[in-house]
Amino acid sequence: MKKAMIIINPTSGKEEALNYVRNVEDLLADQRYDVTIKETAKEQDATLFCISACEDSYDLVVSIGGDGTLHETINGLINQEHLPKLGVVPLGTVNDFARALQIPLLPDKAIHTLSSSRIKIVDLGQLNDQLFVNTVAVGSFAESLSSVTSDDKSRLGALAYVKEGIKELMNQPTHPLHIQYDGETWEGESPLFLAALTNSVGGFERLAPDAAVDDGLLHCFIIKDLTIFNTITASLSLLFGNFKNHKDVVYFTAKNVSISSSESVRTNVDGEEGPSLPIHISSMPRHIQVIVSEEATV
């Protein structure tokens, strides 16, 4: 009999996550899965649960929660011989990975997607010794993202990130960054560096419109200077999908990127606080199988 593990963060979705577990369990049971349910209680629980699913040769792991729960879950896939398929029921604030894969953001529809026969093989990224599914941010903006409280996330949703991000960009200095990528080098002052695996970053689905979930590339943006005026023009560029052409943006694609600084600079990985510089980022092409909707066009 096939085996499936449901990894659930009971505090996700304004603490409504547990309301959906029974529906997921019933749907998987109808597909002849022997289902195990694991609830997270502390940091790294999802990672440990996923490691055990790999070691016990589970066929499917379903993440029910936000981007943070998904980030922890996929980090259980590091150096594993057996990789289960991945199902996602997004209950977070932004849900970039689900957006990029056209997984419905409404929980009931996302649960129905788990019955789909369609599988998409997608890229992962690696930052130092951890994996990520969507985005790495470096600099003042990245630090501001990590400072957004759970209350603000629940109350404001994606607006919490915009509010904190603009405030941080207006009030904080830039950082000296040394960036090496695929034989090239960039050096200069920047408040923000972004590396994205998908087209959706922070809920903006047109930040990297050329990015595909299986193109094997990191889509990278160096923000050189954002005054109040430039913040507005950059926002318009985001809306129209030409952010990479903004005069204060350096855009490139790469398979490997190393970033260092003479200052202490923090990072944010998939919306969670990451390590300080230096870091090395690389793409892991077509690394995992994800269940997507039969109607998805990715």
- The residue among 129, 243, 259, 130 whose CA lies nearest residue 193 is 259
Confirm if 213 and 286 have CB atoms less than 8 A apart: no
Known catalytic residue at 272: yes
Tell me which amino acid residue 192 is.
L
Burial (Cβ within 10 Å: 0-12, 13-18, ≥19) of residue 236: exposed
Closest CA to 119 of 293, 297, 295: 293
* Cα 256 to Cα 222: distance, rounded to the nearest angstrom: 15
Strand-pair category, 218-223 with 249-254:
antiparallel
- CA dist list (Å): 62 to 6, 111, 127, 184: 5, 10, 23, 39
Among 25, 39, 205, 272, the active-site one is 272
How far is residue 191 CA from its own chain's centroid? Answer: 20
Per the CB < 8 A criterion, the answer to whether 100 and 118 are in contact is no
Contact 12, 66 (CB under 8 A): yes
Residue 108, number of CB atoms within 10 A of its CB: 10
Cβ–Cβ under 8 Å, residues 60 and 2: yes
Residues belonging to the active site: 272
